[in-house]
Structure 1
Amino acid sequence: MAAVTRIDLHCHSTASDGTLTPAELVRAGVAAGLDVMAITDHDTTGGWAEAEAARPEGLRLVRGAEPSCRWFGSQPAIPLHLLAYLFDPAEPVLAAELARLREDREQRAEKIVEKLRADGVPITWGEVHGYAAGGSVGRPHIAQALIRAGLVRTTDEAFASSWLGSRYFVPKSDLDVFAAVRAVRAAGGVPVFAHPRATKRGRVVPDALIADLADEGLFGLEADHEDHTPAERAQMRALADRLGLVVTGSSDFHGTHKTVELGAFTTAPEAFEKVVSAATGVPVLG
């Protein structure tokens, strides 16, 4: 395997809730000095083909997704995300689950818009759907409409409790995290727990749950992430070491929906090699 130095394994495009098209995303990866990048849109592989076609020479592309999951061992259940790398998109079980999640995302977004409009907020479903540009509709697209209407200044502000976080929150139907890990593995993919200790996002799962997921086939923990404090990153590294899991680091880039830049956090080459070696679904491109 050729030597690589800068690896970012968590990036979003307009196929879900990023602001760069898949083609723009891979070009931005090269401009940011990345050697390897992953396209990991929420619940979809819809950006894979465009990213593959536009991949600049010298950039290695990891095709992936970020399935929306939930741990039902706590009441209320705790939402969380997996990063699924290099899986076969035609594997029927995982493909069906991702399709279900995308449909639910769109229905949820439409319900949120209905609630906002009922309170006189001047946005429309057509506007929100248009911001998705054919990709998976999500709350960041509603946030764009709220920004356009002058009601909030940023996506983060839109997600605050007075807007999309509480007053106009609508729950979504997520995939049981154990079923998700098994489905990714069955599709030849490699599952990594995304931002597992991001307490700033809300409740997080206990270490015991991560140990149980490791027994089911969880491969790694995304320890280095902007939503982890230095102490939380250290905690996840120690836990990964104890459980024999790989440690990754990623930007979780969303374009202008977030301030973080591509390559802000990266994965070590040896960890990346382990991810690639464990996958049997689709190869790394490049």
Structure 2
Amino acid sequence: MRIDLHCHSTASDGTDTPGELVRKAGAAGLDVVALTDHDTTRGYAEALAALPSGLTLVTGAELSCRVDGVSMHMLAYLFDPEEPALLAERELVRDDRVPRARAMVARLNELGVPVTWEQVARIAGEGSVGRPHVATALVELGVVPTVDDAFGENWLADGGRAHVEKHESDPFEAIRLVKGAGGVTVFAHPGASKRGRTVPESVVAELAAAGLDGIEVDHMDHDADTRARLRGLAADLGLLVTGSSDYHGSRKTCVLGEYTTDPEVYGEITRRATGAFPVPGTGGA
């Protein structure tokens, strides 16, 4: 059983529509795929309508958080998308994305980069605009060769020359809100140091005590030593261990199913969730 619990569509910063994503997941031989767009659930309806036979969809989102000045992402699975408190917090984060992206464009202009808001908006389309769309604009202009290079300290990384902070949720509050909506929480790529500062293990322990369910260990941004360290940390704290591709379509080099989650862990996630349930495909359009 092949399970990929972290994927993005054009509802946020992926390049595949939700329908294309689930069809590709089925063609890639996945049995379960999670749709975890940034701070939004707008892709659910299209993904469900296109869900092929043999593939199960886990609904979710990747929540933007910050603790002690460090950005982090919280994967939330199988919560009630209409629960008012969590919905309000997601909208607050999402609504701050446009002014933040405009501010990054302005900073890039000050640095001599001829990027425009119209270019970034075109790249984002109907999705929730974010740094990957600005990064793609830098690639289009030939400023950097790849999106990953745009996330370096010279440009868009935390603390980079063109970085601008946005509203991000407190992770302890995010856990409380997701739990209140019947969902399950997993700390996404906690050891991805190339993205900037990472959350100390002492804080991960505090998050675990506050109800965090798991950490994403098997991920393209974690080398073998990091995965081993995180696996040990999860064991010490009694956290579930997940693996995921963090698929973004052509915007990143990762492929669907590059890393996967153990079926027993997936089963435990579904047992803990009460806000929503996995949806088996019956042959979508």
TM-score for both structures, normalised by structure 2:
0.94
| Partner Cα separation in structure 2 for residue 99 and residue 244 of structure 1 | 32
Structure 1 residue ranges without an equivalent (≥5): none
Deviation at 1:137, TM superposition (A): 0.1
Q: Which amino acid aligns with 1:175?
A: S
Q: Which amino acid aligns with 1:80?
A: M
Q: Which amino acid aligns with 1:276?
A: T
The answer as to whether partners of 1:223 and 1:248 remain within 8 angstroms in 2 is yes
Structure 2 residue ranges without an equivalent (≥5): 281-285
Alignment-derived partner of residue 153 in structure 1: 145
Deviation at 1:145, TM superposition (A): 1.7
The answer as to whether partners of 2:152 and 2:195 remain within 8 angstroms in 1 is no
The answer as to whether partners of 1:40 and 1:83 remain within 8 angstroms in 2 is yes
| Partner Cα separation in structure 1 for residue 228 and residue 112 of structure 2 | 46
Q: 77, 81, 106: which one pairs with 1:89?
A: 81
Q: Is 2:235 the partner of 1:241?
A: yes
Q: Which amino acid aligns with 1:33?
A: G
Alignment-derived partner of residue 67 in structure 2: 71
Q: Is 2:179 the partner of 1:185?
A: yes
| Partner Cα separation in structure 1 for residue 125 and residue 196 of structure 2 | 29
Q: Which amino acid aligns with 2:100?
A: R
Alignment-derived partner of residue 62 in structure 1: 58
More divergent stretch after superposition (62-71 vs 114-123): 114-123
Alignment-derived partner of residue 25 in structure 2: 29
Q: 11, 18, 21: which one pairs with 2:7?
A: 11
Alignment-derived partner of residue 200 in structure 1: 194
Q: Secondary structure at the match of 1:164?
A: coil
Deviation at 1:171, TM superposition (A): 1.1
Alignment-derived partner of residue 283 in structure 2: none
Listed one character per residue, the Cα deviations across residues 119-159 of structure 1 (whole Å, up to 9, x for unaligned) are 44332212211211211001111122222222222101222
Q: Is 2:31 the partner of 1:39?
A: no
Q: 223, 235, 253: which one pairs with 1:229?
A: 223
| Partner Cα separation in structure 2 for residue 162 and residue 193 of structure 1 | 27
Deviation at 1:278, TM superposition (A): 0.3
Deviation at 1:264, TM superposition (A): 0.6
More divergent stretch after superposition (35-44 vs 201-210): 201-210
Q: 104, 109, 113: which one pairs with 1:121?
A: 113
Q: Which amino acid aligns with 1:129?
A: A
Q: Which amino acid aligns with 2:202?
A: A
Alignment-derived partner of residue 268 in structure 2: 274
Deviation at 1:175, TM superposition (A): 0.4
The answer as to whether partners of 1:15 and 1:132 remain within 8 angstroms in 2 is no
Aligned length in residues: 278
Q: 116, 119, 133: which one pairs with 1:141?
A: 133
Q: Is 2:91 the partner of 1:99?
A: yes
Q: Runs of 4 or more off by more than 6 Å in structure 1?
A: none
The answer as to whether partners of 2:208 and 2:237 remain within 8 angstroms in 1 is yes
Q: Is 2:259 the partner of 1:265?
A: yes
Q: Which amino acid aligns with 1:116?
A: L
| Partner Cα separation in structure 1 for residue 151 and residue 192 of structure 2 | 16
Q: Is 2:161 the partner of 1:167?
A: yes
Alignment-derived partner of residue 52 in structure 1: 48
